[in-house]
Amino acid sequence: MSPRRPIVAVLGASADEPPPGIEPAFELADLRYAGDIDEVTSAIAHADAIFAWGAPRSWLEDAFGTAAGVRWIQAASDGVDGLLFPALAASDVVVTNARGVFDDPIAEWVVAAMLAFTTGLQTSVVDQTEARWTDGRRRDRIAGQHLVVVGPGPIGRATATRARALGLTVEAVGRTVRTDEVLGRIAGPDGFHEALARADHVLDALPLTPGTHGMFDAKAFDAMRSTAHFVNVGRGATVDEDALIDAIRSGAIAGASLDVFVEEPLPSDSPLWSMPSVAVSPHISGDVHDWEQAVVGVFVDNLRRFVAGEPLRNAVDTEAGFGVG
C-alpha cells in the first residue's frame, strides 16, 4: 500500500489563478485552493501543510482551530509579521519564509536610494517636475561615507557587501553583541544611538516584533546627524512616522527613502508625499519581474523536503518573529 499523498492548502489563490510555477507541486502533493475566506476552513481541515500565498493573516487565524493536521506553513514573504499570530507561534507547526528571494533586489534598491540622495539625483527629479534648472549645485561622493545597518539579517548583509564595494564603511546594530562574517562586529541595543550618531546613511532592515515596534522614535532621530539619510525597507511600524516627519521638517536629519509605511497604501494626506527630501516607494523594493516564480520555487523545494522528511529551508523562529540561520 502506497503512502498517502500529503494535502497542501494554498491560501489566497484559486485553481483558475494559481501561483505561477506551482505545477511541479502537483507531483508531490494534492493541492487545495482557498481563493476567499469562505473556502479556508474546508481547505485546511485535512491539510498537512499550508502555502500562505496571498491571504491576510485573519483568514488563517480565524480558522486555525480546524487545522489539526497542519505541520508546516510556508510564507510567501521574507517578513512573517503578516502571518504569525499567538496560537500559531505557540504551536509546534514549522513556519518557513521566502528568505533569499528578496535580499539582493532590496539591497540594490537601498544602494540606488543612497546614490540618488548623495549625488543629488533625487533633487534633480524634483526640479524637473517644475522645469527648474538649478545649476551650480555641489554634491558629495558616496565613497568614504558611513552606513549603519539596523537589522543585520540577509538584507543587511547583502547591502553591506554592495556598500563596501562603493567605498562606504559599514557597521551594524542587532539584538545582541556578536561577530558576523560579513558585517564584522555587531553592536547590541546599548550601542544603537551611538551608532546612529556616526551614520551618513541609516538602513532600517528590521523585522516587526514587539521589541522593534517604534524603535526609530524621536530619540533615535535626534541621535542622528543633521546630514543623515534614513532608509527603511524593514517594516513601517518600526518607525514612529510622526517623529520622522518632525525630524525632517526641523532639519534634525536631511531626508529619507521609504519603501514601507505604518499604513499601506500611504494615505494621500501624509506629509511624506510632498517633502522634497523624501522618496516614497510603494513597498516594491524587492519586486523584480520574476519574484513570484522565485517564491513558488522556494515552496516547491521545501515541499520536496517535507515529503522526504528532510529539514526545511528558511525556518522561522516563531517566538522571535523572524527567520533564523
Catalogue the active-site residues: 235, 264, 283
DSSP secondary structure of 299-322: HHHHHHHHHHTPPPSSBEETTTTE
Going by C-alpha positions, the residue among 315, 300, 314 that lies closest to residue 28 is: 300
188 close to 134: Cβ distance less than 8 angstroms: no
325 close to 212: Cβ distance less than 8 angstroms: no
Q: How far apart are CA 110 and CA 159, in angstroms?
A: 7
Q: How far apart are CA 223 and CA 171, in angstroms?
A: 16
Cα-to-chain-centroid distance, residue 19: 20
User: How big is the CA angle at 256 (ends 155 and 123), to the nearest 5 degrees?
Assistant: 120
Tell me which DSSP letter residue 239 carries. Answer: B
Q: How far apart are CA 95 and CA 316, in angstroms?
A: 5
